Structure 1
Amino acid sequence: MSNTLEKKPKRQRDIRFDILKTIGLFCIIFAHVGPENNIFFHVRRFDVPLMVIVSGTLYAYSSGNKQISFWSYVKKRLPRLIAPVWLFMIFYFIATYIIFSLLSKPYPFSPQKIFETFLLLKGVGYVWIIRVFILVALAANLLLYVYRLCKSEAKFLTLLSLSYLGYELLLILIQRFSFLTRAIFLNVIINDYLLYLLPYGCLFGLGMAIPKLKNKSILLISGLFLSLFLLQAVYFYYKLGHFISNENFKYPPQSYYVSYGIFMSMLAYFVVNKLCVKYSLLERDNFLIRLIVFISSSSLWIYLWHIFFVYYWQNLIAEYFHELTSNFTISFVVVTFGAIAITYLQKKAIFNVIKKTKIGQKNSELLSILFLK
């Protein structure tokens, strides 16, 4: 346990989904440091859908044929999502206060922004994705039940498609009758929770079915959603006279954004699957494989630490080394390597505390939830 990268990955792991999670995580980090005029900035916009789809697959894998109760899963899953985020945010806000005080700079975060961050709303701007994973975790048990009830991937995917169409109709109704969301409480419930639960729940469900789909079905689904995406792109171009980014349809997710996300996610799965078969990656054990497994299994803390590096790189280091921070490649390497490195050191330190101290052994479960997931 002394070195998390020296341990061999467990053989029951499916390295395909570790690779896909790593791709999704790197794409998200790119989004926060990359220039908008970079072509990859537009290509990588399948990152969040990919992460949700992979989460659905991993949940189905871990469930197997077991009957998992809603409450037992929620009690296990939610603390692993919320506790590390809140712990990190406490450190983040306190560290920022100390650093900015030492530099005689005004504190950049208002009480409202801090409060919204802990509620996983707008806040500092990066925590909304945690809210998405909490919402799909709440729906995971029901989706698995429906999936097993359908007894067919085709029936389940058809049901998910119909559910998503219902979501799009609901979105149109909410936009048309905006008075329904004038009350602050209803606005939060509908716009920040319901309109994220439904579409991302469908993507989570799609992930459950992926491992049992044949390559032809994967390519068919990818092609169908590529066609849907291109039809909408042409429609918006004809209507507005210029290309419009699907990023404008991300909050909440709409078909122009979701269709691209599914197309690219299915294509990524197909390519990764082919590469794993061709190069026998499922059986290999080397540093690169162990690194990918580490990044995948540590994605939450790497994501959290990247927030720290992005903020200080763009708001503090940039004041003194603007040419350095304006270079995308350097920015991406610094933020990514920094987040991975500090996560590795954190996990190694906690492993040692658990292994070598009585306090660590006594509180191993709590320490694991807070620092190792």
Structure 2
Amino acid sequence: MENYRNYNYDILRCIALLSIILAHVSPPNFIFQLRNFDVVLIVFISGVVYNESNHGYLKQTFSRILRLVIPVWVFFSLYYLTCYFMLDKIFTLKQYILTYTMISGIGFVWIFRVFISIAILLPIFINMERRGNFYIIFILILITNVISGYFHIFDKIIVEAVNYTFVSYLGYKVKKSGFKTSIRNFSILIFIVFLYLIIKKDIDLQILKYPPDFIYIIYGLCVTYILFCLRFKKNTFFVFVGSNTLWIYLWHIPFVIFLNGYNINFILKYVVVLLFSVSIFYFQYKIFSKSNFKYKRYFLG
């Protein structure tokens, strides 16, 4: 049963990644709005698969951050060098700094900032609950969201970090509790309401995404809970993509940037981006999985 559940989580991560990439190829607005559960889903699953360590908070957190930061820095170093030497394309110092700090840069990097925040905050959330201080989590969420309108930095960093960490924390709790049926039925009803609002154009989930508003999070959680209650058959492609989301996401970036400069049908663009990003990583995976390179773990996953 545990092996099956692990495959299920990989498939859910794959669905999230495919939806995120879909958003980057400019689909029609209805599809663009509908897939706005993707980030919430992948963050939620990060909580479900979260494993606590006996190595202590600092060592555990530092290890998780390195696992995110090193691949991003390596990839963008190669990307910028390729652009400079092969395409004669020069970026500004500000773009370099914003990319490596995962603030913005050329875009696409903010999701890694989210997971770094989760690596720092999720163990703290779990520890507060164990100490009987669960109410502090809600007070923290309330305070950061209330004052976000007064201080711009809260919009960019703090609200994003706290709200997404709470989503990850919910994933951690759902794995522990297992109250699937009631959540699924409730989520289906709420999803129908959101679907109606999207069709009627009374709500724009994309606007509510930066920073993640409660309505955006609730929509994402509804779809996430529905998917979480489903049973998927094992599929090699979905499991491979779902267990290697980090590098496949990185490899999709240059192809999206290139193809978005042309007036191409979004379906064709989507297929091309997926084909190249998954294929390139597949060869990368084959090379590093069989190598004795000491740091190969940073080039897998």
TM over 0.5: yes
Q: Which band: TM-score by shorter chain?
A: 0.7 to 0.9
The change in CA–CA distance for 1:85 and 1:14 in structure 2 (over 3 A counts) is same
Identify the residue that residue 260 of structure 2 maps to in structure 1: 314
> Where does the alignment leave 5 or more consecutive residues of structure 1 unmatched?
1-9, 102-106, 182-186, 355-359
Match of 1:91 among 57, 78, 96: 78
1:323-354 per-residue CA deviation (whole Å, 9 max, x = no partner) reads xxx11111111101111110110111123432
Is the counterpart of residue 145 in structure 1 residue 109 in structure 2? no
Identify the residue that residue 148 of structure 2 maps to in structure 1: 174
The share of aligned pairs that are identical, in percent, is: 29
**What amino acid is the match of 2:297?**
S
Q: Structure 1 residues 254-263 or 108-117, which shifts more?
A: 108-117
The change in CA–CA distance for 1:139 and 1:166 in structure 2 (over 3 A counts) is closer
Is the contact made by 1:34 and 1:332 (CA closer than 8 Å) also made in structure 2?
A: no
1:1-373 equivalence runs, <5 A: 11=3, 14-37=6-29, 39-59=30-50, 62-63=51-52, 67=54, 69-101=56-88, 107=89, 109-148=91-130, 163=138, 167-168=141-142, 170-175=144-149, 178=150, 181=151, 187-188=152-153, 190-211=154-175, 212-219=177-184, 222=187, 226=191, 243-270=202-229, 272-273=230-231, 276=232, 281=233, 289-315=235-261, 318=262, 322=263, 326-354=264-292, 360=293, 364=294, 366-369=295-298, 371-373=299-301
1:108-132 per-residue CA deviation (whole Å, 9 max, x = no partner) reads 6322112101110111110000000
> Where does the alignment leave 5 or more consecutive residues of structure 2 unmatched?
none
Higher Rg of the two aligned structures: 1
Give the Cα–Cα distance (whole angstroms) in 2 for the partners of residues 115 and 67 of structure 1.
34
1:12-44 per-residue CA deviation (whole Å, 9 max, x = no partner) reads 76111111100000000000003233x322111
TM superposition score normalised by structure 2: 0.88
How many equivalent pairs are there? 298
Is the contact made by 1:229 and 1:256 (CA closer than 8 Å) also made in structure 2?
A: no
Give the Cα–Cα distance (whole angstroms) in 2 for the partners of residues 90 and 122 of structure 1.
15
The change in CA–CA distance for 1:147 and 1:19 in structure 2 (over 3 A counts) is farther
**What amino acid is the match of 2:82?**
A
> Over aligned residue pairs, what C-alpha RMSD do you find?
2.8
TM superposition score normalised by structure 1: 0.72
Is the contact made by 1:68 and 1:141 (CA closer than 8 Å) also made in structure 2?
A: no
The change in CA–CA distance for 1:68 and 1:56 in structure 2 (over 3 A counts) is farther
**What amino acid is the match of 1:45?**
N
Give the Cα–Cα distance (whole angstroms) in 1 for the partners of residues 186 and 141 of structure 2.
20
